[in-house]
Structure 1
Amino acid sequence: MNLPDAVMKDAQLLWDYQLMGHSPQPCSVAIGLGSHDLGVADATAELYRQGMAPLIVFTGATSRTTRDRMPRGEAEHYRERAIELGVPSDAILVEPQARNTGENIRFARALLEERGVPVSSVLLVSKPYEERRAYATARKLWPDVEFVSASTPMTLADYVEAIGDARLVVEMLVGALQRLLIYPAQGFMIRQEVPQDIQDAYERLRAQGFTSRLIPDATQAE
């Protein structure tokens, strides 16, 4: 389904804002955040091949959107994908319990500490439209570590084509922006400046009904 140009223009603003613009650099470990998108595993494997991290942690259980496609769990399916792409199995740790971004960070950190892996920097790999959310969450929960955000390099149009549902992508963008607005006050992530044009685009999309990924109760935790 094609969406109006005005809708896609606002979606582009949200997409661009979510991208942190970090340049990949060598880190102690790469953490791939579980989701429906195997592109996260692809991006993490490529960064490993580039020598950006000697070790990978894939973190994620299943959710209502992944239990059918990834019955063994998001992290395990990511691991299998990375091995297909040439990453040695002994360079991958799997954290199979996390069900949200906060747990991704906390549980991956606990696993690394349990294994005695020293960590001063993390290459944080997520879906493109959740780079900023992942970064803000990680900075809150693991403040003494440097985080470098990464995702599959692609345009919004490419992502819409890959997902095959423009409306769903716009709704995910709206949901991700809402969390950036409300989660800092709840202690789930650091506060980041959201420019007025981004807030205006978000409100326009909400008003047009792109609301399926919103949290109806702003006090609800993730």
Structure 2
Amino acid sequence: MVFSGGNSPTTRARFPRGEAAHYREHAVSLGMPQDAILVETQAGNTSQNITFSQAVLAEHGIRPRSVLLICKPYMQRRAFATCRRAWPEVDVVCASEPLRLLDYVQSIGDSALVIDMLIGDLQRIIEYPKKGFAIEQNVPTEVLTAYDHLVRSGFDSRLLT
């Protein structure tokens, strides 16, 4: 198992030593053997999570045929598309904690921030293929219409500039 991630603006306060270190400690506390865990602590985005994890695995002589990416529920499509672009030779499955939107909003404590994060993630699903960061995915017209409406309504703090 590889835990990957440094910090982001939304995780720095919660995981001051980085996401990967926190999740490793939690897994060990739940009984995961320490020697079954690899840690990558430098990634600052999804592409780096994937490419840096791939490098850590290769350093240990591990060349998987398939990977399971665990991420936030709203990030599964982008994580999949990013992995397919960065690591096309593996089969990719994405999963997340089964979490209702309301429960996620309550865990973050700021509904506007959650909408901003969702809008930012959708923008990346649309834009990253053009930059070569991810494979292209179909985004339904109704979703694009809602996205445009929310951006016009001011939910833009997580948009790429």
**TM-score range for the pair, normalised by the shorter chain length:** over 0.9
**Counterpart in the other structure of 1:136:** 81
Alignment of 1:1-222 (within 5 A): 56-216=1-161
Please give the alpha-carbon distance, in whole angstroms, between the structure 1 residues aligned to 2:44 and 2:135.
Answer: 20
Please give the alpha-carbon distance, in whole angstroms, between the structure 1 residues aligned to 2:153 and 2:12.
Answer: 30
For structure 1, the residue ranges without an aligned partner over 5 or more in a row are: 1-55, 217-222
User: What is the CA distance between 1:82 and its match in structure 2?
Assistant: 1.2
When the two structures are aligned, how many residues end up with a matched partner? 161
Q: Deviation digits for residues 166-217 of structure 1, max 9, x if unmatched?
A: 111111000000001111010000000011011111111111111111112x
For structure 2, the residue ranges without an aligned partner over 5 or more in a row are: none
User: What is the CA distance between 1:90 and its match in structure 2?
Assistant: 1.4
Task: Compute the TM-score of the two structures, normalised by the length of structure 2.
Answer: 0.96
Q: Deviation digits for residues 31-81 of structure 1, max 9, x if unmatched?
A: xxxxxxxxxxxxxxxxxxxxxxxxx10011123333333222211111011
Q: What secondary structure, in the 3-state scheme, does the structure 2 residue paired with 1:183 have?
A: helix
Instruction: Give me the identity figure in percent.
Output: 55
User: Quick one: higher RCO (CA 8 Å, sep 6+), 1 or 2?
Assistant: 1
Task: Compute the TM-score of the two structures, normalised by the length of structure 1.
Answer: 0.70
Moved over 4 A (4+): none
